[in-house]
Chain A
């Protein structure tokens, strides 16, 4: 019962900016599909995700989920951010229950949350204050909070980038497993090529100025994915290739450090072709 998403020719101008941040984005996501968005910092990934969540309306075009135009947030599609942003005055249980409380779905809330906390491995911690948890545990609570309302669509904005490598891999696998079990559609933003290959059914590469989808790569590897398998390594290399080819170009200009630069140098950006700016995506 995942959501079918259709992003219809979205163009977006932030007030006060002449150049559009996003231009003519057109994407569809099938029910239950997991799509990764990857691209240089500042190319508009978060902007696009906020539009899917209904937290921001595009200046032109629209997002449709199951045929209905998205105009405001809904518990049926839920967004997770880089920081867990839990409410520090609440216990783990209260934080996780919040979506249900806001919906007024209080019957059998306790059992549902118990079950969910077990799924994310936090049964023991249900009644403790969230401030006592590690970063990974906090992000698990945020995951439970997002799943509590049975969303059809999960939107993740670099949700694991602040975590240590072990926790990150564990959570990548966990989210993938949960989303597949429940048939939830997922759209996630990442800087991490391995993360994209580990989780996604399809990777969309975004270019900037203006933000457009510049390439698309299906990842047809069966789950659970073995990160050392040949197919996995090949896919990673292939995806890297989208950046690798242009990386040499970028290196000539002295920005071999794949860490995405801030768009402070307007002129340089104007000269750059969109493929070249893609080279600056942090590729590891």
Chain B
């Protein structure tokens, strides 16, 4: 802002305008770099589409370019065709995460609390963690009656590790004095959990959930390539089979947008659950 210019206006006006100006300035600062990043991504996409369209070998895929993709995106949104796959996918991710949280948080609390348990579980858990969840696919299909259940299982098994270990990490960081003071004030185990342990580890748990959401959302799409006839992964596979590459790219766009929103929700939850003064 040009201070000399504003100084020449009478001060009452300036004072009234100040909050507005300040807000505009803040908004500009907050948005300018993200806008730059988005523009960069679009430029890259545009260039990629142009390169594909101008190459004889890849010309058939020219509708991956921003123009056709955005048109198809508008199509699936305005026709409402986009909602049903989103719903199926979110349903699976939601349940998968719910199971992962229900298992991971208590497990993490115990691993963080009992050193022995941590040592006992270290090798098996690290071993299991490094197996791609998709490797369980055949097992999951055999073990579960429905495709939905199998996919939920795969998501849960992928998402449980970050939640477990983030929780355990949070528990290990609990100040032992907090437990001692609680004990001294006559807290029973429920009180300790509810008033001391849970608030103390909330931020770590949500940080784990954020990682888990990322993993779950990545596992979801390949899991939906198999068997099921609904969901975003299926929609992509289906568009490929029918050679509708613009629609395929539009669903990729949808996956990215929803993934981004899920992550943004997690970031908010992490901030809200932080007890640090500046959080």
Contacts and interface: CB of A to CB of B under 8 A. Distances in A.
Interface of A: 53, 55, 73-75, 78-79, 81, 83, 85, 87-90, 98-99, 101-103, 129, 131-132, 145, 149
Interface in B173-200: 175, 177-178, 180-188, 191, 195-196, 199-200
Contacts of B185: 73, 75, 78, 98-99, 102, 145, 149
B184 A87 contact: no
A85 B191 CA distance: 17
Interface string B147-188: 000000000000000000000000000010110111111111
Interface of B: 175, 177-178, 180-188, 191, 195-196, 199-200, 275-277
Contacts, number: 57
A87 B188 contact: no
A81 B183 contact: no
B276 A88 contact: yes
Contacts of B184: 53, 55, 73, 78-79
Contact of A129 (B178, B180, B195, B277): B277
A14 to B, nearest CB: 17
A102 B191 contact: yes
Contacts of A102: 182, 185-188, 191, 195
Contacts of B183: 55, 73
Q: Chain A interface secondary structure, helix, strand, loop or mixed?
A: mixed
B238 to A, nearest CB: 48
Contacts of B196: 87
A132 B275 CA distance: 12
B178 A103 contact: no
Nearest to A155: B184
Contacts of A98: 182, 185, 187, 195
A102 B175 CA distance: 19
Contact of A81 (B181, B182, B187, B199): B181
Given A99-B185, A102-B182, A131-B276, 8 more contacts: A73-B183, A85-B175, A87-B196, A89-B199, A98-B185, A101-B191, A132-B277, A145-B185
Most chain-A Cβ atoms within 10 A of its Cβ — which of B178, B184, B199, B277? Answer: B184
B272 to A, nearest CB: 11
A87 B201 CA distance: 12
A129 B199 CA distance: 14
Nearest to A89: B275
B146 to A, nearest CB: 42
A75 B182 CA distance: 10
A159 B187 CA distance: 22
A87 B186 contact: no
A78 B186 CA distance: 10
Contacts of A145: 185
Contacts of A129: 277
A154 to B, nearest CB: 12
B137 to A, nearest CB: 42
Nearest to A83: B177
Nearest to B273: A89
A22 to B, nearest CB: 20
Given A102-B186, A102-B188, A89 B200 contact: yes
A275 B195 CA distance: 46
Contacts of A53: 184
Given A74-B186, A87-B196, A102-B191, A55 B180 contact: yes
